[in-house]
Amino acid sequence: MGQTISLLVAIASYGTAQDHYLEMLLGELRTLQMPNRVVVLSDRNKPVRGAEVIVGLPSRNPYSLPFAHRKLFAENAEKYDLFVYTEDDTLLTEKHIESFLEIQAKLGDNEISGFVRSETSPEDRKFITSIHAHFRWLPDTVVSRGGEIFAQLSNQHSGCFIATRQQLSKAIASGGFLVEPRSGIYGMLETAATDIYTQCGLRRLLCLSRIREFIVPHLANKYYSNIGIPAEELEFQAKTLCDLYRQGHSGESLFNPQTRAPGFRWSKNLYDRPDEELLGRIPPSAKRILSIGSGWGDNEERLSRKGIDVCAVPVDAVFGDALRRRGIRTVEGPFHKVLESLRGQQYDVVLAADVLHLVADPVDWMRKLGNLLLPEGCLIASVSNTSSLLSFLTDWREGRRRPFFSEYEISGAQPVSAGRLRRWCRDSGLEWVQVLPLIESSRSIVRQVGFGPLKSALATRFILKARRAL
């Protein structure tokens, strides 16, 4: 394949702290068998072997550097066959490029092949850091192309992208590529690498059936201890999606756990550790618990180990498989189908961890979940305080302008306050027992705020406890 494809590579490299990673990347690129031009984009002139250096920031903001590849690519759009953008610590190799070319040939004109990023621990264990927090596979996007199976990942960022000449031309023509440096739901660094997928008329797909070929190492290895899933979990998830497709399942989700707010604020963490504040509100006498909107199961496994009969309703079928591998019984599907499957069943507790503010009609959900409670049962929910004064002030300080009260149609999150939660209870036929404001902040002076209106205004989330009205 070597001599017929020409390649332009742009590498964003700010400062000198990561030059040792840059050299590793350049070493890989020097082995390419195809004609290529490698350009390092930097804020300063520095010696690099085997590449040009272009100095200059697109704007005064130092985080704007990754946007510099846009002008370079546009000026050379007709000179090369393939365009590669990468951060200086993301190790794209010739094998990645070859896999891209082979798989891209199977995709449609508006589809573009993507990657996920990995890190490796000192114990040589690999973690997929592109999948964390609220990010997940979208089961209703699974498709087959040329004998391979693909799906979209809700995280569009992997620190790099590859595009053909035709794809770059389409991106430029869309008006979404040659834009000023900016941030949105992603930060500025991530936006620079994701615009081609999110606003240029191209749909990013990852090849599930050959997923190992599309994992790119993040050489910094600095996130794996806090975010990411083990590489073997990625294999399970990819297999689950392929099996669903082959079995003809629709792949409907229970709800969308990811908001459209800046920084994806108020999204549900699907991979979180057990929520001690939430679990601590469960009555010791509870024997049967329904967990609605489950992620990969830490809360549910903790309860099951206590001998409690737990039934979990996962966000989607991928998490359903993860829960069953932990020995948790599941009921899956969209909300109306779940309710049909649960008809006639009742529980001591219905647990809703970070769900109610993310659905279109929380009162309707609460009313119908209330019908699944035993006479002495209770609904226990954690709900993000989307009206938190702390988050509003943070956005204002960082230049993000938004309404104080969240608008569901725009952000994907309901406006929430202590008073609104009580109103939801009344409107759904439930009786609120407790609305507990929680301030999760590293600033001790904020955490020491007493109870009352001020604490509710500063709270980052609430724990709601409600029961069937007498």
Q: Under CATH, domain 262-468 is a member of which superfamily?
A: Vaccinia Virus protein VP39 (3.40.50.150)
Residue 90 clears pLDDT 90, i.e. is over it? yes
Min mean pLDDT across 161-175, 372-386, 456-470 is at 456-470
**Helix, strand, or coil (residue 77):** coil
Residue 451 clears pLDDT 70, i.e. is over it? no
Reported as a single tens digit per residue, the pLDDT across 358-383 is 999 999 999 999 999 999 999 999 99
What's the whole-number mean pLDDT along residues 327-356?
97
What's the whole-number mean pLDDT along residues 427-445?
81
Reported as a single tens digit per residue, the pLDDT across 139-164 is 999 999 999 999 999 999 999 999 99
What is the pLDDT at residue 398? Answer: 67
**What pLDDT band is residue 448 in, cutting at 50, 70 and 90?**
low
What is the pLDDT at residue 452? Answer: 62
What's the whole-number mean pLDDT along residues 288-310?
97
**Helix, strand, or coil (residue 289):** strand
**Residue in the block written with tokens 């202590």:** 418
Q: In whole angstroms, what is the distance from residue 40 CA to residue 67 CA?
A: 13
- Count other Cβ atoms within 10 Å, centred on residue 371: 13
Min mean pLDDT across 223-237, 249-263, 390-404 is at 390-404
Contacts of 396 (CB under 8 A, 6+ apart): none
What's the whole-number mean pLDDT along residues 402-429?
92
What is the pLDDT at residue 269? Answer: 97
Q: How many angstroms separate the Cα of 32 from the Cα of each of 28, 90, 184, 302? A: 7, 16, 35, 50
What's the whole-number mean pLDDT along residues 73-96?
97
pTM above 0.85, yes or no: yes
Sheet strand arrangement including 137-145: 111-113, 203-207, 148-153, 137-145
Residue 311 clears pLDDT 60, i.e. is over it? yes
What's the whole-number mean pLDDT along residues 208-231?
96
Average pLDDT taken over every residue of the chain: 93
Min mean pLDDT across 170-174, 285-289, 437-441, 449-453 is at 449-453
Residue 391 clears pLDDT 80, i.e. is over it? no
Q: Side chain identity at 283, as an amino acid letter?
A: P
Q: In whole angstroms, what is the distance from residue 207 CA to residue 146 CA?
A: 11
Report which of 213, 248, 251, 220 is spatially closest to residue 234, judged by C-alpha positions.
Answer: 213
Residue 128 clears pLDDT 50, i.e. is over it? yes
**What pLDDT band is residue 444 in, cutting at 50, 70 and 90?**
very low
Beta bridge partners of 38: 9
Taking the domains of the chain in order of start, what are their residue ranges?
Answer: 2-246, 262-468
Residue 2 clears pLDDT 60, i.e. is over it? no
CA 225 from centre of chain: 17
The H or E element spanning position 287 is none
Reported as a single tens digit per residue, the pLDDT across 179-194 is 999 988 899 999 999 9
Burial 382-402 (b: 16+ CB within 10 A, else e): bbbbbbbebbbeebeeeeeeb
Residue 435 clears pLDDT 90, i.e. is over it? yes
Min mean pLDDT across 49-63, 230-244, 403-417 is at 403-417
Min mean pLDDT across 22-31, 164-173, 341-350, 455-464 is at 455-464
Residue 284 clears pLDDT 70, i.e. is over it? yes
Contacts of 432 (CB under 8 A, 6+ apart): 421, 422, 425, 426, 464, 465, 466
Q: In whole angstroms, what is the distance from residue 281 CA to residue 278 CA?
A: 6
Q: Please provide the CATH number assigned to the domain covering 2-246.
A: 3.90.550
Residue 1 clears pLDDT 70, i.e. is over it? no
